[in-house]
Structure 1
Amino acid sequence: MKMLKKVMVVATLSLSLFGLNSQTDAATTTHLVKSGETYWTIAQKYGLSVNYLKSINNKSSNALYSGQKLVLPRTSITAADKELMARLVSAEAKGEPYAGKVAVATVILNRVDSVEFPNSVKGVVYQNVNGHYAFTPVQNGTINQAADAGSKKAVEEALTLRGKGNGSLYFYNPKTSTSRWVDSREATVWIGKHKFAR
């Protein structure tokens, strides 16, 4: 009986580890380092920050070697993605402090990196579930207005800090929201009028 329990525990752990690895594999890709490349050039190519690139590869040194493989998120962030994010941040966080704008941009990136959401900025921003968009500005059209400079800067800062923070996946303004579903989620931080949660 003890042997059976041990086999069951090992099998369960193996399945758990396999499940975790398949999620990680599905959420990442690799880059083969070429001669002359640096963390900075690779990060720029894929729309990442150097710190994020190093953190997802568990690296603290700046040393890179030709032929080395680096793990990358499944998707990179393009200039068009940054513009779309900035327009959403501008519409969602109008009148909010700068930290709130960064936090809204971070929610978008966290969703892109999460297996629970679409794996692209466009997919996250325009996600539609049962006829309802995830973000009010998409529903009411304010996503189409030009982004302000503060929102563009907030997107760049969120990209620099990608992978850091409290893992927020949701935010809302309790005074204007008609849905309280997000109250069932773990709160991460309050910034201005927005409550953030994961």
Structure 2
Amino acid sequence: MGRDAATVILVLGLALGTAVLYGLARQGEEPSALAQAGHAAGLQGRAEGATTPSGQPPAVQLYVVKPGDTLYGIASRFGTTVAVLQRLNDLDDPDRIGAGQVLRVPAGAGEAAGVVPTLGAVARPSPGRYGPVSDWERHLLASLIWHEARGEPFEGQIAVGAVVLNRVDDPRFPDSILGVVTQPGQFPFSLEQLQRTRPDAWAYAAADRALAGEDPTGGALYFYNPAKTTTPEFWATRPVVARIGQHVFTR
């Protein structure tokens, strides 16, 4: 077969695959794996899901899965691919999503219904020494929030993140997120544990809100659960500044 003939066949094949995919999408059917692969290649430049041109992970938002949603349908709605959504959410099986599940989807696209607080790289406003937050620090903060406050109200999760950042800004504590979350005698988690943690989307959203400057506690440096503490005498000496969910926040 000559080179020109091969080129014609390749072009026709790509066109046919696109047409089949388009027809299936119009009928509301799930395309085959082969058709999805072709569609993914066509969308690669729009939402790769690995890095942005600057080398940073893409900004994402959260989407709450509705009854009847499929991962392919969500991908189409947000102008991305199933493969990208799988990478963003660590999904091994694209068919295993359920109503009420929170997924990361590319930011700045798709319908507003079902979308909750935006995730993405942010810089914490600071009076000086603390600047932009790396993805690694953001992960450590979200991991601590997940361990300490999962199941708490979203405001309470933000509050736990704010306590960490208030300590970063206080000269009596380490001056980095890493230093605060691994300070001996403060939180019962090793750096290895925090690095291996997979926080849920709400923990990341709470970390981002705290990093953006939100502090529901008004400056707390400590928190505890009265039902679980083994040192009530110590906490009785600390001034209470807020009560959110099961946690009491103090200075």
2: CA distance, partners of 1:142 / 1:151:
13
Q: Structure 1 segments of 4 or more deviating over 6 A?
A: none
Query: Deviations along 1:44-95, whole A, 9 cap, x unmatched?
Result: 99822xxx35xx4xxxxxxxxxxxxxxx224542211110000000010021
1:116 is aligned to 172
8 A Cα contact 1:111 1:124, kept in partner: yes
Count of residue correspondences? 131
Structure 2 portions without partners, runs of 5+: 1-119
CA 1:86/1:191 → structure 2, altered by over 3 Å: closer, same or farther? same
What SS does the corresponding residue of 1:195 show, helix, strand or coil?
A: strand
1: CA distance, partners of 2:240 / 2:181:
21
Q: TM-score, normalised by structure 1?
A: 0.59
8 A Cα contact 1:97 1:191, kept in partner: yes
Aligned with 2:140 (options 84, 101, 116): 84
Query: Deviations along 1:112-144, whole A, 9 cap, x unmatched?
Result: 00001000100000001xxx3x113449x5774
CA 1:118/1:192 → structure 2, altered by over 3 Å: closer, same or farther? same
User: Amino acid of the residue matched to residue 145 of structure 1?
Assistant: T
Structure 1 portions without partners, runs of 5+: 1-43, 57-71
Deviation at 1:104, TM superposition (A): 0.2
User: Amino acid of the residue matched to residue 153 of structure 1?
Assistant: A
User: Amino acid of the residue matched to residue 123 of structure 2?
Assistant: G
1:186 is aligned to 239
Task: Compare CA radii of gyration and give the structure with the larger one.
Answer: 2
2: CA distance, partners of 1:187 / 1:127:
23
1: CA distance, partners of 2:159 / 2:174:
19
Deviation at 1:179, TM superposition (A): 1.6
1: CA distance, partners of 2:195 / 2:243:
23
Query: Deviations along 1:19-43, whole A, 9 cap, x unmatched?
Result: xxxxxxxxxxxxxxxxxxxxxxxxx
2:73 is aligned to none
Please tell me whether residue 155 in structure 1 is matched to residue 202 in structure 2. no
What SS does the corresponding residue of 1:73 show, helix, strand or coil?
A: coil
User: Which one is further off, 119-128 or 171-180?
Assistant: 171-180
2:181 is aligned to 125
Aligned with 2:123 (options 47, 71, 79): 47
What SS does the corresponding residue of 2:236 show, helix, strand or coil?
A: helix
2: CA distance, partners of 1:161 / 1:74:
12
Aligned with 1:95 (options 110, 131, 151): 151
2: CA distance, partners of 1:106 / 1:156:
10
User: Amino acid of the residue matched to residue 238 of structure 2?
Assistant: R
8 A Cα contact 1:88 1:143, kept in partner: no
8 A Cα contact 1:92 1:137, kept in partner: no
8 A Cα contact 1:137 1:143, kept in partner: no
8 A Cα contact 2:156 2:244, kept in partner: yes
Q: How many percent identity over aligned positions?
A: 34
Going by fraction, where is helix more abundant, 1 or 2?
Answer: 1
User: Amino acid of the residue matched to residue 172 of structure 1?
Assistant: Y
User: Amino acid of the residue matched to residue 186 of structure 1?
Assistant: P
1: CA distance, partners of 2:121 / 2:227:
41
What SS does the corresponding residue of 1:155 show, helix, strand or coil?
A: helix
- Higher relative contact order structure (alpha carbons within 8 Å, sequence separation ≥ 6): 1
1: CA distance, partners of 2:203 / 2:215:
19
2:116 is aligned to none
1:68 is aligned to none
